[in-house]
Structures are given as structure tokens and as C-alpha cells.
A and B are shown apart, each in its own frame.
Chain A
Amino acid sequence: METIGFLMEGFAVALTPYNLMFALFGAFVGTLIGCLPGLGPANGVAILIPLAFTLGLPPETAMILLTSVYAGAMYGGRISSILLNIPGDEPAMMTCLDGYPMAQKGRAADALAISAIASFAGSLIGTIGLIMLAPVLARFALTFGPAEYFALFLLAFATLGGITGKNPMKTVIAATLGIMISTVGIDISTGTQRYTGGVLELYEGIDFILAIVGLFAISELLFFVEARMGRGRSKVNVGKLTLSFKEVVSTIPTQLRGGLLGFIAGVLPGAGASLGSFISYTLEKSVLGKKGRFGEGDIRGVVAPEAGNNGAASGALVPMLTLGVPGSGTTAVLLAMLISLNITPGPLMFTQNADIVWGVIAALLIGNVLLLVLNIPMIGVFVRLLSVPPMYLLPIVTMVAFVGIYSISHSTFDLYFMIVFGVGGFILRKLEIPMVPIILGLLLGPEMEKNLGHALILSDGDWTTLWSSPLAIGLWLVAGLGLVLPTLFGPILRRRMRNAIKEGPVSD
């Protein structure tokens, strides 16, 4: 099979000592990002982009670094869920339900170890799914014309809020704002200056990297300042590892189910890692029924969501790599890296940049092994870092963001711009305008306009061409559903997720 051949080539790329070193570094930093307060995965990857960029890393190395960070962040999120009953990131929410009770019973070390194993299994299943599905989807995507792409981009925006999203109109507004920002600068096809106001720095458009860092990192700092959550958390004792081999084996069916469900949730538009871990937890609960003691520290209650969210994390890479359309915040940030490396994302990547695609996939597999190895013996290090108070951490993170942005262009103009984005992001987040569609709009805006232009030129200005093929109509329909369904089912699903969390008798 040619896929195996490509994968082997990918391993050849990923296993060079240079790339391996970056994968290890990324895995470590990623876990830190996942477990530290105030540093979500999207945020963490965003701050690292300018650094990867200014270091002049070759594209495959830069992507390997960021993918490892991404995988690592998914591992890290569980640590504070288990020890402190505070999810490190959103998908780790469900891990609190049984992880924290386990920790309270003095089995914290076991919960951490089994969740690392479950993360590994979920990721492995997800990555295998990615290897099988991605080339097929990429081949299919080659049949897309500009009209289909235009519809696909709309679908991506429409489903971004997710089925649990609150107000779809705010997603639309956010996406429109993002695309509007992307139209600033000289128009590529006609050379018209748009919205530059004659400011020289704006001729080339607004660099989305500084927008992303501002929207994420700076607004996060402001949120912490406002909430005055600067004090750290108390230190936690992990205790001894008592996990038996038999116990690990007994969770294997749970791991397989969780990983597979998570992967599917990750691939589908509008689902994502949070829903992946929720579905796999609920399924596990109904499959095992009375045999399980869910909510009281059942080991399978830790395994299911962890396998689920890591499976989903790998699954989310499928649409990003094959279609160039990310379905989550973190994959959107990974897409930003690809674009700034001058790689056109989409199906052609599989033929034109095969080394990068397969290098990244191989790095995901290697990264997971590294993460498993890192996470069991070194868990103590991460736990200690968990108690670093945000009042020292966040200013330093902000400073690193400043350094990163400054070192790209050595201009303070960009820094002011980043602060403006940060303050704007803070205000918009307060008003519950989501950040991710803004970023996706920034990234996809130019592509959308290009495809719209091509479609209309091909059809001699006939607008109906946008919905003339069955595939395009299908995409429009799903996009429409993506906006309508959340208003119908969103409240129900959200209530269920909330109830599931409240039911946990020990969690307060």
C-alpha cells in the first residue's frame, strides 16, 4: 500500500535527531501548556508560532514542533482535572468526574497513570484513523471546484460554534469581523488599496500572527487581571502508584471505544474534543450500567473521556490537513503556521508537500510515545509546576509573546497593534463573541475571496454557480444546519453536559 510507503518516509523525516529533539521539546512544553492555568492549547501554540518562525526552522520541523505541542497540551489538561477538580482545558472537563474522586481516595497517582495510558491509546487510535482517512478525503477533495470550496468555507464557519454553541449569530458576526480584517491591504487580483488609509505598514495587510497572539495571549492576561486570580493553587500530594497490570488490561475495551468515538467526533464539523470526551463518557456509563461506579472514582470514568478527547484531537487534524479547513481553535492556529510557511493547505498538500504531511503524522505517533514516557515518570515535575502562581506566570508569558512578535519584524508598530487586538479581544470575549471564528476568518478570508472570484469568472458572473453542483448544495445544506441545529438542540445538550457534571456526588 502506498500509504505505508508514505508513512515510512514520514518516519524518516520525523526520526532525524534534529526533528526528534523538537518533538521532545514540543511534547514537554505542550504538557506544561495543558496543565498550567491560563494557558490553553490554542493560546500556547499561538505564542510559539512567532518563535518557530524567527528561529528559521524548516517547515517540517516547525510543524513537528507545533503538532507535538498540540498533542502534549491534550495530555496536560487532565492533570489539574484529576488533582484539583479544575479542568486545565475545556475537553478535560469530563475527566474531573471520576478523576477527582479517585484522587480524593488517595489514588491520584493511579488516576494520572491510567489517564496517560488512555490518552496514548486514544491518540494512537485517532492517528491510525487519520492515516487511513486523510489520503482518501484528500483525493476526494481534489474534485472540489472553487464553488465547492466557497461553500466548504461557509460550512466551516457555520459549524465552528459547535452543536453546543450558544448564539450562532455571534459566530457569524465574529467570522465576518475576521474576514473583514483580512481584506485590509492591497487586493491581490486588482492591486486596489483597500482600507489602508495610506498607512505604509498596512499595505501588506494585517499579519494574522500578531492578531492571533493579541487575541489570545493579551486578552487572557487581561482576564486574569480582572478576576484577580493571581494567587496560585495549593500543592497536591500525588501518592504512590498502585495500579495493577490487570486493572490496566480491564480498561482496554473502554480505551478502544473512547478513542474511536473521539476520533469520529473530531473529524465531524461542529463536534470537537469537548463533545468527544462527553460522548465517550456517557456511552461508557450506559454500556457498563450498574457494573460501574461512575462519579465515585471509577477507573473507566477516567479512561473514557481521556481516550475520547485525545482521539478527537487527532481526528480534528483530518479536515485541517486534507481540506485546509480547521474545526477547532488549536487546529486553526496550526493552519496559521502552515500559511505563514507559504504552504497552501488543502488536498494538494498531500502531493506537493508529502514530506511535511507525513512527517507531521509520523511525529504525532512518535510524540505520543514520548508523551507516554514523559508523563509516567515525570509526572512529579508537572505537578510541582501546577502550583506556579499565575501572577508570575502570565506576565512572563506576555513578555514571551512580545519578544516573539518583535523578533518577526523588529518594529514596535506591530506591538501596538497586538495590544489593540488584545484589548479588542477582551471586550469581545466579555460580550461572548467567540475568538476562534475571528481567527479562522483572518486565515480563510483571502482564500474565500479568491475562490469566489474564480467561481464567478468561470461562470461569467452568474451567481447561481455557487450552488449548482449537488456537492455544493450538500455543503450549503450542512452549513445551514450548522447554524440552525444549535438553536434547537444546543440548550438541551448543554443542560445534559451540565447535569452530568453536577451529578458527580463528590465534586462540588
Chain B
Amino acid sequence: MTGMGDRILGLFLLVLAVAYGWVAQQWPEPFGGAEGVGPETFPTILAIVLVIGSLYLMIKPDADARWPVGKSALELVISVIVLVVYAMLLEPLGFIISTTLAVGALSWRMGAPATKSFVTGLISAVVVFGLFNYGLSLSLPNGLLGGF
């Protein structure tokens, strides 16, 4: 069946729209009685529009996109993991170490030779760190490389 991508998206959006609209109806009436527009009015309209949009997607889906499979899907997952780990390690390890690892890993996975990747990572990390901490006096985390 063609258009599976759009149909799945449509289903997801339908669930989202209904949940979004339903939550809006649960809010207590604001103090001072109901005026023309309460906090739920606008979200309710949005939910209705999205319901219509999602139904349209399911009934008349576009042709499917080419989804990454196999190796490129794996590379994508790796990249996202690298980004999450980067965000996680930024404060504990400090900016320079974590950036060297993250930029290096990303470049390497995108096809650059490993040594060149990590050297690029290190150089860019040091330059940006220097620029921010000394040039612009915005502090990035020092982490393990404490007092320098």
C-alpha cells in the first residue's frame, strides 16, 4: 500500500489532536466567570483544524518518501546518540573534552578519517572555548580541565 508514511503520520496527528483538544476541556473555568474567550477556546479550534488535516492525510496520502534503511538508518541513530551523549557530558566533562569527542565522532561517522576528525574536533573546541571565555567572557563549562 502506498502512502503508508502519510497515513501513519495522519493517525499519530489524529491521536495528538484529540488528546490536545480533550485536555483543553478539562481546565477549570478561570476565576471571574466565562468570558468570550477562555484558555480553552483557541486550543479547541486548533484541535479541530488538526483533526481535519489528519483525516485528509489518511484519506489522500502523498506518495511515500524513501526512508533510510540498513546502514544509513544505523548512522542516523548513531548521530542522534552522539548528540544526546554530547548534551549529557557537556557539564561533567567540560566543553573542550566533550566537544572534541562529539565533533570528532560526527565527522568520523560522516566519512572523514578518524585522526583528522578528532583533530578538527579539538581545534574547533579550543578555538570556540577561547573565543567565548576570553573574547566574549561567556563562560562555558570547564569540567575536568578545571582551573585554566
> Which residues of A pack against B, CB within 8 Å?
54-55, 166-167, 169-170, 172-173, 176-177, 179-180, 183, 187, 189-192, 194-195, 218, 221-222, 224-228, 230-231, 389-392, 394-396, 398-400, 402-403, 406-407, 412, 415-416, 419, 422-423, 426, 430-433, 448-449, 452-453, 456-457, 459-461
Contact = CB atoms under 8 A, between A and B. Distances in A.
B138 interface: yes
B142 interface: no
- The 3 closest A-B CB pairs, nearest first, are A461-B36, A395-B106, A456-B36
Contact of B111 (A167, A228, A460): A228
A176 B49 contact: yes
Interface string B16-52: 0000100110011010000111110111001001100
B30 to A, nearest CB: 4
A394 B68 CA distance: 20
B110 interface: yes
A245 B100 CA distance: 51
A218 B83 CA distance: 9
A190 B30 contact: yes
B20 A180 contact: yes
Contact of B56 (A169, A190, A461): A169
A432 B62 contact: yes
Interface in B48-82: 49-50, 53-54, 56-57, 62, 65, 67-68, 72, 75-76, 79-80
A392 B112 contact: yes
A312 to B, nearest CB: 28
B110 A399 contact: no
Interface of B: 5-6, 9, 13, 20, 23-24, 27-28, 30, 35-39, 41-43, 46, 49-50, 53-54, 56-57, 62, 65, 67-68, 72, 75-76, 79-80, 83-84, 86-88, 90-91, 95, 99, 102-104, 106-107, 109-112, 117, 120-121, 124-125, 128, 132, 136, 138, 140
28 contacts: A54-B138, A167-B62, A170-B57, A170-B62, A173-B13, A180-B46, A183-B46, A187-B39, A189-B37, A189-B39, A190-B30, A190-B38, A191-B30, A225-B72, A389-B112, A392-B120, A395-B106, A398-B83, A398-B106, A402-B90, A416-B84, A430-B67, A431-B6, A448-B42, A452-B37, A453-B41, A457-B35, A459-B36
Q: By DSSP majority rule, is chain A's interface helix, strand, loop, or mixed? A: helix
Contacts of A432: 62, 65
A30 to B, nearest CB: 19
B110 A169 contact: no
A172 B84 contact: no
A222 B42 contact: no
Contact of A230 (B67, B112, B128): B112
Contacts of B37: 189, 452-453, 456-457
B87 A180 contact: no
Given A228-B72, A402-B87, 17 more contacts: A176-B53, A177-B50, A183-B43, A187-B39, A225-B76, A225-B109, A228-B75, A391-B117, A398-B106, A399-B103, A399-B128, A412-B91, A430-B5, A432-B62, A433-B9, A453-B36, A453-B42
